[in-house]
């Protein structure tokens, strides 16, 4: 465990305000909310608490900006130039953004730095899409007809982001919406608002026209709900829990707007005996403890071939003991704090319930003490003797908790993987490509990693099946989510055949 003192110092309290029509403003109610760092127990940010008034103004600002054509009327080259400037500004501000991200979320500073700096690549890729977006043409409809399929921006997009990857997930959505020519209203989580406010500063500096991106700080009620129901909003894209995603779908149905959802996951890594077991063990440990397990892609389920189960479990227990949990501001830390005290209680309840149902705690299973910091840390935890009937086998715990099950055949491994309402991601480890491909075809998930875990690229679409969501983010498919398709049918050179005989008139 990592209890050493960090060389980084906690900055003065960050003050955040709404960004509406290119101007920073406070709430009409003069209400503010404070974020206490889950790791250090001090107030790290204070932001305006928005309500219906600020949300309505932000939406109407985005609507006016879209209808004016100040952004969607620009060429792809011109929009792309702004996006490229944002990428450069992100890289110039990594340290400032990452520090607040770590303090608000509890994640290690090295992880925050990687996420912030890596986000710049999203903007550069999105900039390329702005310049290369194309539709279709059809010259085979007859000698007097030509068909063209156009793609155009969907309009005003509400972007609602979560607390676990506040900057990264914003950057999986915003640059692609802007590249398509949309205007936006963004609501970050009330737990992690600061990096989104900082993004607003960079957008202004990059020259984004006023009203194209608006930021409202606040809670799901009323801000998020209004962003999902407002008649001037054409699309909602949300990342968060499946329960809230369902609520957004119901709310948005009033106006039948488009909804894109990236929701929960209960993701499995399946290990066959002929895999590189050393690499696999390291990936399992990384997959479950990364971001303290507070990750929709967390590989919280380990599905092991029974021939290797005993020695493999022993290996991951020993590796888990070496993972550095502790002060997020220490560069040596690999795993930081849990986001809230309420969430750590929820994690512990799942562990205790599973134990009462017959599961065995092979490692951890309790709150972790870190000298000089808060009590919002949880031990690396491994649970064996798991059956499908246990809630921990299928529910998203969202913490550093790994469950272990075994299988005999490929068919059984696929069945176990699919034995959950979620379908976000999965991984398979085997040196037999045929085994990997059969597994890939058989599992109902949006992403499958083979002999690796959680590698991602801006070019590769991301999203889930079943109750893990709908639609896709990043890549060409993620870009297309923000576009409408319009068919244009044109007659060329000949008079249209009459439907009504008009010779007597």
187 in a structural domain:
yes
Residues 297 and 155 in one domain: no
> 463: burial class by Cβ within 10 Å (0-12, 13-18, 19+)?
buried
7 in a structural domain:
no
Q: What share of the chain is helix, strand, coil (3-state, %, to 5)?
A: 40, 20, 40
- Determine if the peptide bond prior to 222 is cis (ω within 30°): yes
502 in a structural domain:
no
Q: According to the model, what pLDDT value does residue 493 have?
A: 83
Q: Work out the average pLDDT over 1-9.
A: 54
Binning pLDDT at 50, 70 and 90, where does residue 482 land?
A: very high
Convert the pLDDT of each residue in 329-388 to its tens digit: 999 999 999 999 999 999 999 999 999 999 999 999 999 999 889 899 999 999 999 999
The string of DSSP letters for 248-314 reads: HHHHHTTTT-EEEEE-----EEEE-TTS-HHHHHHHHHHHHHGGGG-STT---EEEEETTTHHHHHH
**Centroid of chain to Cα 469:** 11
Q: How far apart are CA 470 and CA 3, in angstroms?
A: 42
Q: According to the model, what pLDDT value does residue 504 have?
A: 65
> 311: burial class by Cβ within 10 Å (0-12, 13-18, 19+)?
exposed
Residues 197 and 312 in one domain: no
500 in a structural domain:
no
Of the chain, the percentage scoring pLDDT greater than 90 comes to 94
Q: According to the model, what pLDDT value does residue 7 have?
A: 57
Q: Which residues of 407-439 are buried (b: 16+ CB within 10 A; e: fewer)?
A: beebebbbebbbebebbbbbbbbbeeeebbebb
Q: What is the CATH number of the domain that holds 88?
A: 3.40.605.10
Close Cβ partners of 193 (under 8 Å, ≥ 6 residues apart)? 16, 35, 45, 47, 104, 166, 217
Residues 198 and 297 in one domain: no
Lowest mean pLDDT across 5-19, 200-214, 292-306, 453-467: 5-19
Residues 208 and 317 in one domain: no
Q: According to the model, what pLDDT value does residue 499 have?
A: 87
Residues 172 and 295 in one domain: no
Binning pLDDT at 50, 70 and 90, where does residue 501 land?
A: confident
Convert the pLDDT of each residue in 413-471 to its tens digit: 999 999 999 999 999 999 999 999 999 999 999 999 999 999 999 999 999 999 999 99
Q: How far apart are CA 21 and CA 381, in angstroms?
A: 47
The structural domain count of the chain equals: 2
Residues 246 and 313 in one domain: no
Residues 281 and 157 in one domain: no
Domain that includes residue 34, residue range:
16-263+468-487
Q: According to the model, what pLDDT value does residue 505 have?
A: 60
Q: How far apart are CA 188 and CA 197, in angstroms?
A: 9
Q: Work out the average pLDDT over 211-229.
A: 97
Q: According to the model, what pLDDT value does residue 5 have?
A: 42
Residues 272 and 250 in one domain: no
Asked if pLDDT for residue 44 goes beyond 70, the answer is yes
Q: Collapsing DSSP states into helix, strand and coil, what is residue 387?
A: coil
Q: What is the CATH number of the domain that holds 318?
A: 3.40.309.10
Q: Which residues are catalytic?
A: 262, 296
Q: Is 451 left (phi over 0), alpha (psi -120 to 50) or beta?
A: left
6 in a structural domain:
no
Beta-carbon neighbour count of residue 447 at 10 Å? 22
Close Cβ partners of 72 (under 8 Å, ≥ 6 residues apart)? 66, 152, 153, 181, 182, 183
Q: According to the model, what pLDDT value does residue 496 have?
A: 80
Convert the pLDDT of each residue in 164-208 to its tens digit: 999 999 999 999 999 999 999 999 999 999 999 999 999 999 999
504 in a structural domain:
no
Binning pLDDT at 50, 70 and 90, where does residue 36 land?
A: very high
186 in a structural domain:
yes
Residues 327 and 213 in one domain: no
Q: According to the model, what pLDDT value does residue 3 have?
A: 42
Taking only Cα atoms into account, the Rg of the chain, rounded to an integer number of angstroms, comes to: 25
Query: 488: part of which helix (H) or strand (E)?
Result: strand 483-491
Close Cβ partners of 382 (under 8 Å, ≥ 6 residues apart)? 313, 316, 317, 320, 361, 362, 363, 364, 401, 402, 404
183 in a structural domain:
yes
Residues 177 and 275 in one domain: no
Give yes or no for a contact between 47 and 217, defined as CB atoms under 8 angstroms apart: yes
Work out the angle between the directed axes of helices 76-92 and 194-206 (0-180°, nearest 10). Answer: 130
Task: Name the average pLDDT for the chain.
Answer: 96
**Centroid of chain to Cα 202:** 21
Asked if pLDDT for residue 97 goes beyond 80, the answer is yes
Query: 384: part of which helix (H) or strand (E)?
Result: strand 381-384
Altogether, the residues listed in the chain come to a count of 505
Residues 180 and 216 in one domain: yes
Q: According to the model, what pLDDT value does residue 495 have?
A: 77
Residues 40 and 121 in one domain: yes
Q: According to the model, what pLDDT value does residue 2 have?
A: 43
Binning pLDDT at 50, 70 and 90, where does residue 502 land?
A: confident
Q: Where are the alpha helices (DSSP H) in 5-134?
A: 52-68, 76-92, 94-105, 109-132
Tokens of 29: 């109610």
């Amino acid at each position: 465990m990592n209890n050493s003192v960090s060389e980084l110092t906690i900055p003065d309290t960050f003050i955040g305000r709404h960004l509406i029509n290119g101007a920073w403003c406070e709430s009409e109610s003069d209400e503010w909310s404070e974020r206490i760092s889950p790791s250090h127990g001090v107030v790290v940010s204070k932001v305006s608490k928005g309500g219906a008034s600020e949300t309505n103004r932000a939406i109407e600002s985005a609507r006016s900006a879209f209808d004016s054509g100040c952004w969607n009327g620009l060429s792809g080259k011109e929009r792309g130039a702004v996006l490229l400037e944002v990428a450069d500004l992100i890289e110039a501000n990594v340290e400032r953004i990452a520090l607040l991200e770590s303090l608000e979320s509890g994640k290690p500073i090295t992880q925050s730095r990687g996420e912030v700096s890596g986000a710049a690549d999203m903007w550069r890729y999105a900039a390329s899409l702005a310049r290369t977006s194309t539709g279709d043409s059809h010259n085979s409809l007859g000698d007097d007809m030509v068909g063209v399929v156009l793609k155009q921006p969907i309009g005003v997009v509400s972007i609602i982001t979560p607390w676990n990857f506040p900057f990264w997930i914003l950057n999986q959505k915003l640059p692609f919406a802007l590249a398509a020519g949309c205007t936006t209203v963004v609501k970050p989580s009330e737990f992690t608002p600061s990096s989104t406010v900082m993004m607003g500063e960079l957008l202004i500096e990059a020259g984004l026209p006023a009203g194209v991106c608006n930021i409202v700080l606040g809670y799901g009620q009323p801000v998020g709900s209004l962003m999902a129901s407002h008649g001037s909003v054409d699309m909602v894209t949300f990342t968060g829990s499946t329960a809230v995603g369902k609520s957004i779908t119901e709310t948005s149905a009033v106006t039948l707007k488009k909804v894109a959802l990236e929701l929960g996951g209960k993701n499995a890594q399946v290990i066959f005996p002929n895999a590189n077991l050393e690499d696999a063990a390291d990936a399992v440990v990384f997959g479950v403890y990364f971001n303290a397990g507070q990750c929709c892609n967390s590989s919280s389920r380990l599905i092991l071939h029974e021939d290797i189960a005993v020695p493999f479990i022993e290996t991951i227990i020993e590796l888990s003991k070496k993972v550095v949990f502790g002060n997020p501001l220490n560069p040596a830390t690999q795993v930081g704090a849990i986001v809230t005290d309420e969430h750590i209680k929820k994690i512990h309840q799942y562990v205790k319930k599973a134990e009462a149902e017959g599961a065995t705690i092979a490692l951890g299973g309790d709150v972790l003490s870190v000298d000089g910091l808060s009590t919002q840390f949880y031990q690396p935890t491994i649970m064996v003797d798991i059956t499908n009937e246990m809630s921990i086998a299928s529910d998203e715990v969202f913490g550093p908790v790994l469950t272990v099950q075994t299988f005999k055949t490929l068919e059984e491994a696929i069945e176990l993987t699919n034995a959950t309402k979620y379908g976000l991601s999965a991984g398979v480890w085997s040196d037999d490509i045929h085994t990997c491909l059969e597994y890939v075809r058989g599992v109902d998930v949006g992403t499958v990693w083979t002999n690796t875990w959680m590698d991602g690229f801006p070019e590769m679409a991301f999203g889930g099946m079943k109750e893990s969501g709908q639609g896709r983010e990043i890549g060409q498919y993620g870009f297309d989510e923000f576009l409408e398709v319009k068919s244009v049918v044109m007659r060329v050179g000949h008079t249209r055949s009459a439907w009504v005989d008009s010779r007597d008139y």
